[in-house]
Structure 1
Amino acid sequence: MASDRDNPEFDENPEWTEEDFAKARPAGDVHGPEILRQLVRQPGRPPLPPARRKERVTIRLSPEVLEHFRSGGPGWQTRVDEALRRAVREA
């Protein structure tokens, strides 16, 4: 049995007509705020819970330490953080 999609006239996303534009309404007039929050993606990553947030700092490290961690490629700052957290737990 042939479906509508097999018909050469089928257009899943037809071009809008003047009538379509005249009837169109802003999403805010049609949907509530909860739906709009789901439809509109905020830029960037979602915020982490406060316990997992990190703080930006400036720290001077020896060339040997930097070379060691940078040689591992991308994510070296995360590896520095993990090493420091391990040192804190073991102290």
Structure 2
Amino acid sequence: MKSEYDFSNATPAAGRPAKRKTRITIYLDDEVLQQFRSLSEQSGKGYQTLINAALRMRLPQARPETALAE
């Protein structure tokens, strides 16, 4: 390995989509979180992904297949 690398001409990786998510802090009832964690274990998807999908389905323009695709 080199002791130093020159990244002055480096460019961002092409083809990687920009993230469209924002980190927030949210307080949920323990029972709600427990239910989503249980659903997460059953489905194999992350509980935060399931919460996001549930919230998307409540939006007026959302379609169920779009919400669950993430």
TM-score (norm 1): 0.41
The letter of the residue matching 2:56 is: R
Unaligned runs of 5+ in 1: 1-36
The answer for the alignment partner of 2:22 in structure 1 is 55
Could you say which structure has the greater relative contact order, defined with CA pairs below 8 angstroms and 6 or more residues apart?
2
More helix by share: 1
Unaligned runs of 5+ in 2: 1-10, 62-70
The answer for the alignment partner of 1:84 in structure 2 is 55
Q: Structure 2 CA distance, aligned partners of 1:84 and 1:56?
A: 15
Identity %, equivalent residues = 40
CA-atom RMSD in angstroms: 2.7
TM-score (norm 2): 0.51
Q: Shift of the alpha carbon at 1:66?
A: 0.1
Secondary structure of 2:60's counterpart equals helix
Runs of 4+ deviating beyond 6 Å:
none
Aligned positions, number? 46
Report the structure number with the largest CA radius of gyration. 1
- For residues 5-40 of structure 1, the C-alpha deviation after alignment (integer angstroms, 9 at most, x for no partner) is xxxxxxxxxxxxxxxxxxxxxxxxxxxxxxxx8xxx
Secondary structure of 1:85's counterpart equals helix
The letter of the residue matching 1:57 is: I
Q: Structure 2 CA distance, aligned partners of 1:70 and 1:78?
A: 11
